[in-house]
Amino acid sequence: MHKDTLQRFIFEKTPIRGSVVNLNSTLQLALNKQHLPIGLKRALGELMAASALLTATLKMNGSLVLQIQSQGSLKLLVVECNSEFGIRATAKWAGDIQDTETLFDLLAQGQFMITLDPKDGGQTYQGIVALEGTSIATILENYMLRSEQIDTKIWLCCDGNIAAGMLLQKLPDTMNQTIHEHDIDTWNRVGHLADTITDDELLQLPTETLLHRLFHEEDVRLFEASHTKFQCSCSRKNVAGMLRMLGADELKSILEEQGKIDINCDFCGAHYQFDAVDATQLFTSEITSQLSKEVH
């Protein structure tokens, strides 16, 4: 019954659009790599749902990264979602966290960061803001309004096992400056209707039923669902690139101490090992590629 889907919809003849996301195995596969306290499971689940909702609003082909950093018990939450709704997530924290503690009990000097990384070599965009708001949804709404000047309303929920979310957005009128009164009325009206949603409805109802329950008097067009999945983008090639950046001397000292270099992916738990021969090749292949660049 629980699905892994993202479904877009529009309110006909208005600049208002939205989407609903449901994460089931996507969430469980992403979170079972770590023994997360329940408060962080919920926070990561909400952030994963949000990453899919925001990705659905972008035309970019690449990945969107949402990150929360803090100096408190919570150090880092990272979620990455690509254009095909492949999502991965990880958390770093310090000390014991009680079951009663939520994300907001664990934050100190928190920062929220959003990164857009186009796949085809376009410019990477990064925005950093202080954490304003008492929920992940309000942090994102504030961010979208202040940094992007786009009216956005977001609802998120995660019970630790499944996550869901809904986004409504009023597209700015870029063709002319005329303010359409009826669009503002519709925006306010559908916002109020959507505010009646309960966490249970968001988590349990199929998208079509949910939208009917909220907006049955509106003219809503629902598009075909996209599928979300757990997906990690790590590879031996990426790890090799990271090791190259550490430099030959650093790698040599690790090899002298440990005999080999072991790297575990924080997102999927994949294990990569490099021995002395592999490490030497990292740099000889780099020299070869530099030489070939100089030749051309």
Contact flag: residue 93 with Zn ion (CB under 5 A): no
Contact flag: residue 268 with Zn ion (CB under 5 A): yes
Minimal distance, residue 43 CB to Zn ion, in Å: 21
Residue carrying structure tokens 């597209």: 171
CA angle 117–122–125, rounded 5-degree value: 45
Helices marked H in 195-275 — which ranges?
199-204, 207-215, 236-246, 248-258
| C-beta of 136 vs 232, nearer to Zn ion | 232
What is the C-alpha to C-alpha distance for residues 75 and 33, in angstroms, rounded to an integer?
18
Contact flag: residue 171 with Zn ion (CB under 5 A): no
What is the C-alpha to C-alpha distance for residues 30 and 80, in angstroms, rounded to an integer?
11
169, containing H or E segment: strand 163-170
| C-beta of 64 vs 214, nearer to Zn ion | 64
Contact flag: residue 234 with Zn ion (CB under 5 A): yes
Minimal distance, residue 119 CB to Zn ion, in Å: 17
**Pattern 177-216, Zn ion, x by CB under 5 A:** ----------------------------------------
Q: Which stretch binds Zn ion (CB under 5 A): 176-184, 219-227, 241-249, 257-265?
A: 257-265
> Of 265, 272, 274, 279, which one interacts with Zn ion (CB under 5 A)?
265
The torsion angles phi and psi of 82, rounded to 5 degrees, stand at -95, 175
> Of 60, 203, 263, 270, which one interacts with Zn ion (CB under 5 A)?
270
Q: Which stretch binds Zn ion (CB under 5 A): 59-67, 123-131, 149-157, 266-274?
A: 266-274
DSSP code per residue over 126-143: EEEEE--SSSHHHHHHHH
Q: Which residues partner with 118 through β-bridges?
A: 62
Q: What does the buried/exposed string (b/e) look like for 75-102 if buried means 16 or more CB atoms within 10 Å of the residue's CB?
A: eebbbbbbbebbbbbbbebeeebeeebb
Contact flag: residue 263 with Zn ion (CB under 5 A): no
Contact flag: residue 162 with Zn ion (CB under 5 A): no
Structure tokens at 169: 């957005």
| C-beta of 235 vs 253, nearer to Zn ion | 235
| C-beta of 29 vs 154, nearer to Zn ion | 29
- Interface ranges with Zn ion (CB under 5 A): 232, 234, 265, 267-268, 270
